[in-house]
Amino acid sequence: MSADDTLPELARIAAAERAALVSGDYAALPGILARKQRAAAAFAAGRPPRSDAVVVLDLLRENQGLIDAARAGFTAARERLTEIARGPGAFSSYADDGRMRPLAQEQAGFLRRY
């Protein structure tokens, strides 16, 4: 890849990465990452002008924000699913003296009709 081709290539890769992030196509990201790493290495080796580097850096920072947001969403979803799987914990309430006290929890059993 020539030095003149690296900026447009990085811009195309950043656009593809953004599209994948926005559409939720996370399976495409590993392939995009490999392309991005190769193009970034070629871009850095070509000693680009500062103005070109700033343009690319802005694109990549914007995508990093999207990646961080996706990661936070995955973390929140994982934590919520863990809560749901754990089920309700001990129930508690405040007593007359203002202290929190656990409520007695009855064991589930069979109901019988007589």
User: How many whole angstroms separate alpha carbon 75 and alpha carbon 69?
Assistant: 10
- Whether 3 has a pLDDT exceeding 60, the answer reads no
Locus of tokens 């900026």: 7
This prediction's pTM: 0.66
> And the tokens for 57?
């850096």
53-105 pLDDT, tens digit per residue, is 788 889 889 999 999 999 999 999 999 998 888 777 667 788 889 888 887 66
Percent of the chain with pLDDT over 70: 85
Q: For residues 17 and 29, is the Cβ–Cβ distance under 8 A?
A: yes
Write down how long the chain is: 114
